[in-house]
Structure 1
Amino acid sequence: MSNSSRAGAVRRALTAATLASLALGAAACGSSGGDPLASPSSAGAAAPGSGSGSGSGSGSTVVVGSANFPENVLLGSIYSQALKAKGVKVEEKFNIGSREVLYGQVQNGSLTVLPEYNGALLGYLDAKSTAASKDEVNAALAKALPASLGILDSSPAEDKDSLTVSQETADKFGLKSISDLAPQAANFVIGGPPEFKSRREAQFKDVYGLTLKEWKPTGETTANAIKDGAIQVGNVFTTDPKILQLKLVPLADPKNVFGAQNVTPLVNKAGVDATATAALNAVSAKLDTAGLTALMKRVAIDKEDPSVVAKDWLKSNGLG
């Protein structure tokens, strides 16, 4: 997924601290991930739901939806096939649109299950929240969601901003986390979308003590610019398949500058029983960022059918 063109069909959430100023919480990259961040006010406009439109008990059908970008369609297919493997009746409604539409459909029971990103969802419901870690975000979500809705287990997989370097740079300077950049930052050029500097420069300095040599607007060419050496550090989303294609290294963010964006099932509680819940939690237990990135390479670069990629992943993890 390209790094700055996450407008339109493919956008995703940034951290809660900058949500109020962004059009998408982390306008997610073009071919893999992301998720349009709707105005928080529209959350209140969504129709309250009873979950009467779906259900996994008594022979009723669980309706699995997805947003209209490839990564979310892939995740929806993984959820759908995992449920089917446990004997749950499933209807798929993929490529629907943005969160403004999707959230209301889960709330009124038209959809039962939706692959979400916990930080983006919290930003939609509470743009002023400062929760950053996975546990903080999920605790805040538990309070922000209406009684009819809930989240299941969050996966370790995250589609979020990162500071990324080449494998050569990581090896040469022993870089594993953003903290490791501090001794070299004055010699490094950083690239990203044009707005990245204004949103992040102060945070990197205050939180990690980074003062970088120069900031360059690189937009969707960021990953290639890292590989070519035009920049040493770049803002690349963690499930961008170019990370694998170009052998790049996203640096860990132990101080949560970017905030949690864990892939998390959002459910209409009336529509999921213990069997469905267990099946979806089993998916979350196995899904990590590296694995999701590898799957997105198959979808976005190799142009494989998401349902086939999902089936292969479930089988390899004993879930299909």
Structure 2
Amino acid sequence: MRRTTSFVAALGVSVLALSGCGLSGDALESGGGGNCDDAKPKDGPIKIGSADFPESSLIAEVYAGALKAKGVQVSTTDPIGAREAYLKALSDGSVQIVPEYTNSLLTFLDKDAKAKGPDEIYAALLTTIPCDELALQKSAAEDSNAMVVPKSVADKWQLKTISDLAKHANEVTIAAPAEFRTREQGLLGLKSTYNLTPKSFRPLGNPQAISTALKNGQAQAANIFSTDPSITTNGFVVLKDDKALFGSDNVIPLIAKKAATPKVQVALNAVSAKLTTTNLAQMLKEVVVDKKSAKTVAAAFLKANGLA
């Protein structure tokens, strides 16, 4: 569901984007507009929601562990679903925090967004999110949408870029989550940016099903997150996004303002300062391939980085 958007004030956006300090202190009180409640945040129980894929649930456990270490009463929910569902849960107060991705969230809220590059995207996002929410510090960890193909398909068609794939559009079935059909970072964007309209689209519910369809020849291309261990495990080829459709997707905590006390902000920003693409991919491998629990993997990361 596309929500009505009131906009956070753009005060200091360029400084925030470069320093990665998040919105806190005076900026917390001055941000916002429209009819949002300007009451200061208060301590209280926090629920952290997540999307319906392993990485999101893993990051939620990392956030929860970091907050527990600071004495915050916190719990995680079962995976909620696609962005439309978990943003609604954040908006209606069912949860107070969700892990998010900068460019995916920006283009979801503003289909006309043109920002490119991590800092520009982050700055644009700060002026686009609803006035009762905050995007805290972006991490160096980046997990972008990727178009991948089996090596056999890449070799057969000599594919290196998404533009190369577009030349074979009438032969391609794309496997992806169902919401990919209607997203700018999906079939809509592939058509407008690359003039790529696939022969068919195969909507599937989770990353494992998508990678299986690719392995079994039920699809010739797929949308998989760039940190997904199935890429390495199966020798899939990631096609270069040569026209920058997908952009930079850095991991951020998205939080309801009423829950964003200084203690909570500091704890979550400390996580962002330590989270990298490399350690996120390694943690995800431990969960998906090695079958460790997300809570166990998150606890080990927090301990190794002095956050627990």
Pairing partner for 2:50 from 47, 60, 67? 67
RMSD value, Cα: 4.2
**C-alpha distance in structure 1 between counterparts of 2:166 and 2:109, whole Å:** 39
When normalised by structure 2's length, the TM-score is: 0.64
Q: Deviations over 1:91-143 (max 9, x none)?
A: 2242373211213328xxx72x3322223433454344333443333222222
Q: Secondary structure at the match of 1:162?
A: strand
In structure 2, the CA distance between the partners of 1:189 and 1:67, relative to structure 1 (3 Å rule), is: same
Task: Decide which of 106, 109, 119 is 1:122's aligned counterpart.
Answer: 106
Instruction: Report if aligned partners of 1:62, 1:88 keep a CA contact under 8 Å in 2.
Output: no
Q: What is the distance in 1 between the residues matched to 2:202 and 2:146?
A: 15
Map of 2:21 onto structure 1? none
CA distance in 2 between partners of 1:167 and 1:144 (Å): 39
Query: Is 1:248–2:236 an aligned residue pair?
Result: yes
Partner SS state of residue 92, structure 1: strand
Whole-angstrom CA distance in 1 between matches of 2:215 and 2:79: 35
Letter in 2 for 1:284: S
Q: How far apart, in 2, do the equivalents of 1:316 and 1:138 lie?
A: 28
Q: Secondary structure at the match of 2:75?
A: strand
Q: Structure 2 matches for 1:239-318, cutoff 5 A?
A: 239-253=227-241, 255-269=243-257, 271-318=259-306
How big is the shift at 1:79?
0.9
Question: Aligned equivalents of 2:307 and 2:240: distance in 1?
Answer: 29
Match among 54, 57, 64 for residue 42 of structure 2: 54
Give the AA of the match of 1:258: F
Q: Does 1:150 align with 2:134?
A: yes
Alignment match, 2:13: none
Within 5 A, what are the aligned runs for 1:25-36? Answer: none
> Matches of 2:171 and 2:282 in 1, distance apart?
28
Aligned CA distance change for structure 1 residues 114 and 236 (closer, same or farther; 3 Å): closer
Identity %: 29
**Whole-angstrom distance in 1 between the partners of 2:213 and 2:300:** 33
Structure-2 separation of matches of 1:62 and 1:133: 36
Cα distance between partner residues in 2 of 1:47 and 1:233: 45
Gaps of 5+ in 2: 8-33
Residues in 2 aligned to 1:171 and 1:294: alpha-carbon distance in whole angstroms: 28
The aligned residue for residue 79 of structure 1 is 63
Q: Within 1, Cα distance between the matches of 2:236 and 2:39?
A: 43
Contact 2:202 2:219 in 1 (8 A): no
Point out the more displaced range, 225-234 or 283-292: 225-234
Closer, same or farther: CA 255–73 of 1 in aligned 2, 3 Å: same
The structure-2 alpha-carbon separation of the partners of 1:114 and 1:52, relative to structure 1 and needing over 3 Å to count, comes to: farther
For 1:317, the aligned partner's letter is: N
Match of residue 90 from structure 2: 102
Is this contact kept in 1: 2:138–2:250, CA < 8 A? yes
Match of 2:190 among 200, 221, 239: 200
SS at match of 1:193: strand
Q: What letter corresponds to residue 204 of structure 1 in structure 2? A: Y
